[in-house]
Amino acid sequence: MELRVVITGAAGFIGSHLAEALLDRGCSVVGVDNLLTGDMANIAHLATREFVFIRHDVTNYIDIAGPVDVVLHWASPASPIDYLELPIPTLKVGALGTHKALGLAKAKGARFVIASTSEVYGDPLEHPQKESYWGNVNPVGPRGVYDEAKRFAEAMTTAYHRYHGLDAKIVRIFNTYGPRMRVNDGRAVPTFISQALRNEDLTIFGDGRQTRSFCYISDLVDGIIRLMQSDLNDPVNIGNPHEMTIEEIGRTIIRMTGSTSRIVYRSLPTDDPKVRQPDITRARTLLGWEPKVPLEQGLTETIAYFRKKMQAEGLS
């Protein structure tokens, strides 16, 4: 697969894994990131390969010399902690950043893939969530800056496909975990692992019975690349349909880390979704994709990464 691929948000958790996987498949990669939430440590090991890094804010015009075959738009804060602290940059990268990334793809005649999210479904009234579901989103709630940024990004991507004939794809990513997540990421798995490794109380918001579906990073990346190579233009859910409660994932991590942590409960944040489970019928039937990595195998890899990172940074 000899393609030249531009990845915005390349120094982030998913972006860095995408870059590595595409390099492994024979692509050359141009990574673009302003490092607002990304980390150069995630891509340092790619420096000796067909990888070029450009530090740039994609809400400004994106200039890439030479041909480009694919643009993967992954730039955005993606954790509730990030988008609650960075509401306006989150909205800008979803709107202006998507516009600039689409403009690059149009100018280069490139294929375009945007990282959307299960958050477009909001606090869903349909369960599991199919791509045909329009969602239940509070546009003026604290999470609205992320939800609506991604919904707008989907609308603009679809407009470029319909009006300009751009070969554009939308991947709706459900909860994903794995190495290179940040210790202070704020999402359930990294938070629970970092708390458990310190033998601190595991903080669960609400009664812990709200559900999530956790997909390991290598499975997600495989699904994204399959979509990138396909002729699909409608949105596709990529995630693990195995649903479990937040309390279950917390207790699993305590057991697997050998931690003495206890679970404590705090009030549920505003608009926090009660359920989250992808219907992956479209991915299964049209892409031949489904997740393969069992939860405990993925957690073993992730815990090992966090243990090493926290020791190196003196955080354990």
Catalytic residues: 146
Q: Where are the alpha helices (DSSP H) in the chain?
A: 13-24, 80-85, 87-92, 98-108, 144-164, 188-197, 217-229, 246-257, 281-282, 295-312
Number of H helices, E strands in the chain: 10, 13
Tell me the residue length of the chain. Answer: 316
**Residue 258: other Cβ atoms inside 10 A:** 9
DSSP H or E run through 238? strand 236-238
Pair of tokens at residue 43: 């891509």
Pair of tokens at residue 26: 């024979």
Residues 6+ apart with CB under 8 A from 258: none
Specify whether the CB–CB gap between 124 and 135 falls below 8 A. Answer: yes
Strand partners for 7 = 31, 72
CA angle 193, 195, 198 (to 5 degrees): 105
Place of tokens 């030249």: 4
